Amino acid sequence: MKFSLCGFSCFSSSSRKPTINTTTPGEQNHDNLRIFSSEELQIATDGFSSSNKIGEGAFGSVYRGQLRDGSIVAVKVLSVEVESMRGEREFITELAALCNIKHENLVKLQGCCVDGANRYLIFDYMENNSLAQILFGKEKNRMKFSWEARRDISLGVARGMAYLHEEFQPHLVHRDIKASNILLDQNFTPKVADFGLSRILTDKASHVSTKVAGTLGYLAPEYAITGHLTRKSDVYSFGVLLLEIISGRSAVDFDLELGEHYLVQKAWQAYKDNKLIKVVDNTLNLNFPEEEALRFLMIGLLCVQETAKLRPRMSTVAKMLTNETDIRDVQISQPGQLPDLKNIRLHQKQTSESSSSRERTWTTVMSLPSTTYF
């Protein structure tokens, strides 16, 4: 099986020899995507020095690099295991997704490199790293995170996702929306990143059946249980992210005595008790418009409703955030939750053993390290 994308030829694991075309390193191909040599990247990152490492994700590490022309880039390194070709699918998926995407709120891919078992993706450098660093780093970081910044970032992410879901062809479901995958440039403009898990959704398809992958706390429960991926799966993840941005709390908290605490549950309980305003991050010191903050929290709860069809489309979410669509009389139903992860994992293991054609696997990231860049 052969994939042709953006002027490249990448071969499946059956060939064991993924290659690219004969474009000279450093040149631009017809899609304005640059082919880098491994030597260029070695020099740019000072041999991928640990001092230049700016992040680490599920599929590789990211390094800061300076090219010969003086421009600063982020180099994502995906190491492919030769026998299993693990990581090859993520490389091809991300390359295919990003080479034609152009939107202010989506990360821009500059180029790539294939060298032996290594795959490199080169992006614009984001001066302010990821949203996770602000939200889940030191409290003094959140104290500098004004209401205006939170509002603009929330709206930017919503617009970027609406573009992927409804405007970009073919439509894409990101599948791993979370704080560490939202990058911030020098002006704190949000950029949705890491498309290694994304999947195409055609206009005629109601869902895509796929192995379950994502991050604990952000996974839509119906997707986690059935493996049926829809755009509403992404909407759920965005709802969790929105609650995080406004509250300054992570999707899942861990307590030695009380176990796991889920932000969605806390927000829903506060809503039922008519105390939703108390969910707003206290580091804002009441320097925020109360009505707007409540609206954002309610939008977050609308996005995480248990019944997927009740969740709004991302284009509607963007209009709700700007108050173009009034939500004052909207009824919010209870959120979808994953209270017993052990049973779900057991169910998926049994399903895998009983039917290979319906195999389900569970890929989770149990925490959100502040160093994650992509």
> In this structure, how many other beta carbons lie within 10 angstroms of the beta carbon of residue 181?
29
CA 202 vs. chain centroid, Å, equals 20
Residues 6+ apart with CB under 8 A from 201: 170, 171, 172, 173, 207, 208, 229, 230, 231
Catalytic residue among 31, 115, 124, 176, which? Answer: 176
Whether a cis peptide bond, with omega within 30° of 0, leads into 170 is yes
As a whole number of angstroms, the distance between CA 125 and CA 172 comes to 24
Residue 95: φ, ψ to 5°:
-65, -45
Active site residue 329: no
Annotated binding residue at 76?
Answer: yes
Residue 2: φ, ψ to 5°:
-125, 135
Alpha carbon separation from 103 to 92, 118, 159, 166, 318 (Å, rounded) = 20, 28, 9, 13, 15
- Name 330's bridge partners: none
Q: Residue positions in the annotated binding site for ATP?
A: 76
Q: Residue positions in the annotated binding site?
A: 76
> Hey, which residues are catalytic here?
176
